Structure 1
Amino acid sequence: MSITILGIESSCDDTSAAVIRDGVMLSNVIAGQAVHEAYGGVVPELASRAHQQNIIPVVTEAIKRAGIDRSELSAIAFTRGPGLMGSLLVGTSFSKGLALSLHIPMIEVNHLQAHVLAHFIKEHPEDDHQPAFPFLCLLVSGGNSQIIKVDSYNKMEVIGQTIDDAAGEAFDKCAKVMGLGYPGGPVVNRLANEGNPKAFKFSKPHIPGLNYSFSGLKTSFLYTLRDKLAENADFIEENKADLCASLQATVVDILMDKLRKASQETGIKEIAVAGGVSANSGLRDAFEDHARRYGWNVFLPQFAFTTDNAAMVAITGYYKYLDRLFCPMDAVPFSRVEI
Structure 2
Amino acid sequence: MSELILGIESSCDETGVALVRTREAPGQVPELLAHALHSQIEMHQAYGGVVPELASRDHIRRVLPLTDAVLREAGVALDAVDVVAYTRGPGLAGALLVGAGVASAMAAALDRPTLGVHHLEGHLLSPFLSADPPQFPFVALLVSGGHTQLMRVDGVGRYALLGETIDDAAGEAFDKSAKLLGLGYPGGPALSRLAGEGDARAFKLPRPLLHSGDLDFSFAGLKTAVLTQAQRLGQALPERRADLAASTQAAIVEVLVKKTLAALAATGLQRVVVAGGVGANRLLREQLDAACAQRGVRVHYPELHLCTDNGAMIAMAAAMRLQGGLEQPRRDYAFDVKPRWSLEEISASIP
TM-score when normalising by structure 1: 0.95
Residues 82 and 110, structure 1, Cα contact 8 Å, conserved in 2: yes
- In structure 2, the partner of 1:184 is 187
Mapping of residues 138-287 of structure 1, within 5 Å: 138-206=141-209, 207-229=212-234, 233=235, 235-287=236-288
Amino acid in the other structure paired with 1:173: K
Residues 105 and 333, structure 2, Cα contact 8 Å, conserved in 1: no
Residues 107 and 320, structure 1, Cα contact 8 Å, conserved in 2: no
Amino acid in the other structure paired with 2:15: T
The alpha carbon displacement at 1:319 in A equals 1.4
Identity fraction in percent: 42
In structure 2, the gaps of 5 or more residues are 23-29, 344-351
State how far apart, in whole Å, the 1-side matches of 2:291 and 2:111 are: 49
- In structure 2, the partner of 1:84 is 92
State how far apart, in whole Å, the 1-side matches of 2:10 and 2:340 are: 14
SS at match of 1:320: helix
State how far apart, in whole Å, the 2-side matches of 1:319 and 1:133 are: 13
Q: Tell me whether 1:5 sits opposite 2:5 in the alignment.
A: yes
- In structure 2, the partner of 1:312 is 313
Q: Tell me whether 1:56 sits opposite 2:64 in the alignment.
A: yes
The alpha carbon displacement at 1:258 in A equals 1.2
User: Size of the alignment, in residue pairs?
Assistant: 330
Q: Tell me whether 1:37 sits opposite 2:41 in the alignment.
A: no
State how far apart, in whole Å, the 2-side matches of 1:205 and 1:194 are: 25
State how far apart, in whole Å, the 2-side matches of 1:120 and 1:77 are: 17
The alpha carbon displacement at 1:155 in A equals 1.0
The alpha carbon displacement at 1:216 in A equals 0.6
Residues 107 and 321, structure 1, Cα contact 8 Å, conserved in 2: no
State how far apart, in whole Å, the 2-side matches of 1:305 and 1:42 are: 20
The alpha carbon displacement at 1:7 in A equals 0.5
The alpha carbon displacement at 1:331 in A equals 2.6
RMSD: 1.2
SS at match of 2:223: helix
State how far apart, in whole Å, the 1-side matches of 2:14 and 2:203 are: 35
SS at match of 1:57: helix
Residues 101 and 335, structure 2, Cα contact 8 Å, conserved in 1: no
SS at match of 2:16: strand
State how far apart, in whole Å, the 2-side matches of 1:172 and 1:220 are: 14
State how far apart, in whole Å, the 2-side matches of 1:175 and 1:284 are: 20
Residues 203 and 217, structure 1, Cα contact 8 Å, conserved in 2: yes
State how far apart, in whole Å, the 2-side matches of 1:2 and 1:272 are: 27
Q: Tell me whether 1:332 sits opposite 2:333 in the alignment.
A: no
TM-score when normalising by structure 2: 0.92
State how far apart, in whole Å, the 1-side matches of 2:199 and 2:166 are: 29
State how far apart, in whole Å, the 2-side matches of 1:110 and 1:93 are: 16
Amino acid in the other structure paired with 2:245: C
The alpha carbon displacement at 1:291 in A equals 2.2
